[in-house]
Amino acid sequence: MSARYSNRVGLNKVRCFVASLSLKEPILKLSQSPQMKGFVTTNRLGRVVARRFVAGETVEDAVKASREMNQQGLHVSLDHLGENTSNVDEANHATGEALEILDVIAREKLDANISVKLTSMGQDIDYDLCYQNILRVVRKAKAQDDTFVRLDMEASAYTQRTLDLFCNLWEEGHHNVGVVLQSYLYRTEKDVEAMIKLGARVRLCKGAYLEPAEVAYQEKAEVDRNYLRCMERLMSEGNYPGLATHDEKIIEHAINYATRNKITADKFEFQMLYGVRRDLQKRLVHQGYNVRAYIPYGSEWYPYLMRRMAERPANLFFIASQFWKG
């Protein structure tokens, strides 16, 4: 390899790193822009890009993607995209979509559970509306082979409200439901301990929203260190935690930690996003680990897509190159 080529490769890596630093915040801000949403969702290239990360817009698309994942030995979690509904009709419609996918899972005999965002079911409108809507979903899931329901976590303004609602469900005996905790928040270590005490299932992720320094770590290294601390506690004391990460160093750490502490592979699962690191997903399945692919679908894919772009802005360049290749 020539010195000139080596320098060029190194420079490209630096450019990608700088792009990651400079693009994350503006991309997340654009996720809230109605004008940009209109442009991207009506643009052919935007829809092509979205299909890498989103199964499609219909239930049929979700079923097809789920069946493909199941055939490869992966479990799945289905999520009908949508958030921050502003009226009762929208919230009830989102609830109906969740109820429908439960019927589909049962009818198609999919190895799947579901993930829901409480803001889609009226969390911004009225607590009782949201609670009754998610209660309908949890009860139906229980009646259909005890299907598991994951309450997704959104921005930090919703963290306590989501955990409070979850605890109310739990105290009423609805234990086929779990939560998501985000390692970029300072509070997460305490929340992990609270969930361990309850015996609740936790999905641990890093977090994908733009958060202020008052509530969240700002440096990736700090987020990663907190992830590892929380992960080890959940693996040792938690109830079948979902380790949501594509970071191979963290995955290797988890495997080594499990080996050292005699934690068998059936006590936890790795979770990854649809369309991201498919090679890694297959490799972990072949190594005997449980892997769950998070499969989003629906027409409201724009905010989800922008968060995926913000997590790793290099995806913008990768997907564009794939598009032009054909």
Q: Mean of the per-residue pLDDT values for the chain?
A: 85
Determine whether 152 is an active site residue: yes
At 259-281, the pLDDT tens digits run 999 999 999 999 998 888 899 99
Q: What is the structure's pLDDT at 126?
A: 97
Q: Are 294 and 272 in contact (CB under 8 A)?
A: yes
Is residue 272 located within the same domain as residue 200? yes
Residue 9, pLDDT score: 43
Task: With cut-offs at 50, 70 and 90, classify the pLDDT of residue 17.
Answer: very low
Same domain, 50 and 106: no
CATH code for position 182: 3.20.20.220
Residues 6 and 148 in one domain: no
Q: Which residues of 175-200 are buried (b: 16+ CB within 10 A; e: fewer)?
A: bbbbbbbbbbbeebeebbeebbebeb
Q: Does the active-site annotation cover 203?
A: yes
150 and 194 co-located in one domain = yes
Q: Are residue 127 and residue 183 in the same domain, yes or no? A: yes
Among candidate residues 79, 150, 191, 203, the one labeled active-site is: 203
Same domain for 38 and 61? no
Query: Which domain range does residue 26 map to?
Result: 1-54+308-326
Residue 210 near residue 29 (C-beta atoms within 8 A): yes
Tokens of 228: 């590892």
Same domain, 223 and 80: yes
In a shared domain, residues 107 and 194: yes
Catalytic choice (152, 201, 224, 308):
152
As for how many domains the chain has, the answer is 2
What's the predicted TM-score (pTM) here? 0.81
Nearest to 116 by CA among 145, 148, 74: 148
**Is 99 a residue whose pLDDT tops 80?**
yes
| CA atoms of 220 and 200, how far apart (whole Å) | 27
Q: Kindly report, residue by residue over 29-75, the tens digit of the pLDDT.
A: 555 556 555 555 556 655 556 557 787 778 999 999 999 999 999 99
Give the pLDDT band (50/70/90) at residue 306.
low
pLDDT digits (tens, 9 = 90+) for 150-208: 999 999 999 999 999 999 999 999 999 999 999 999 999 999 999 999 999 999 999 97
Tokens of 86: 């502003």
Q: Is the pLDDT at 119 greater than 90, yes or no?
A: yes
